[in-house]
Chains A and B, each alone.
Chain A
Amino acid sequence: EVVLTQSPATLSLSPGERATLSCRASQSVSDYLAWYQQKPGQAPRLLIYDASSRATGIPARFRGSGSATDFTLTITSLEPEDFAVYYCQQRANWPITFGQGTRLEIK
């Protein structure tokens, strides 16, 4: 099973700042990595799939990068609605697994 380790666990930033979230895989997942955003009481929302492709309707400030074992989600300029929990997910190896999440909070 591929273990995805996200860092940091919590990130405290202000609106307008740049956020950089990391996801590291225990073995190569090629570019088969997705990112989700989850707000309290809501279902996860797909942001990025296959490492760098934005899902439908996702603003351009969300950027995914990386390959193999190291991936990054960058939010170039934080908007108030971006403060949430972010999860990565791999689909390269069975079973599908998720990271433990990074909480992005307002500083």
Chain B
Amino acid sequence: QLRLQESRPGLVKPSETLSLTCAVSGASITRSTYYWAWMRQPPGKGLEWIGTISYSGTAYYSPSLKSRVTISVDTSKTQFSLKLSAVTAADTAVYYCARGVNKYSWFDSWGQGALLTVSS
């Protein structure tokens, strides 16, 4: 049974860098048919795709966030990570990790989400 678990929610100060990890269990993160993604959802709003990474480390980012986002994968630790720099209040959201079946994909398994709040 695949399980994705985001790291703990938290508080980030404006202009700092947000960091999250997603631990993957129950499936191989190195399987080439899978891709690993991050989405976010501001409170009371809809979903936004942030980016997707392959097991080999090739990443694809949303154009609106590309200048501030880095997604990486650590196959030895069976986890992948998100870094978002220069955060503002607009980045306050629940961040979800998820699994896709290719680089342009639907997402068949999701983590439970982690609320990141940007505030001084």
* A residues neighboring B (CB under 8 Å): 1, 32, 34, 36, 42-46, 49-50, 55-56, 87, 89, 91-92, 94-101
Contact = CB atoms under 8 A, between A and B. Distances in A.
Q: Which of A44, A55, A56 has the most CB of B within 10 A?
A: A44
Interface SS, A side: loop
A43 B96 contact: yes
Interface of B: 46-49, 52, 60, 62-64, 96, 98, 104-108, 110-113
26 contacts: A34-B107, A36-B47, A42-B112, A43-B96, A43-B111, A43-B112, A44-B47, A44-B96, A44-B107, A44-B110, A46-B107, A46-B108, A50-B106, A55-B108, A89-B47, A89-B106, A89-B107, A91-B104, A94-B60, A95-B49, A95-B64, A96-B105, A98-B46, A98-B47, A99-B46, A101-B46
Contacts of B49: 95-98
Contacts of B110: 43-45
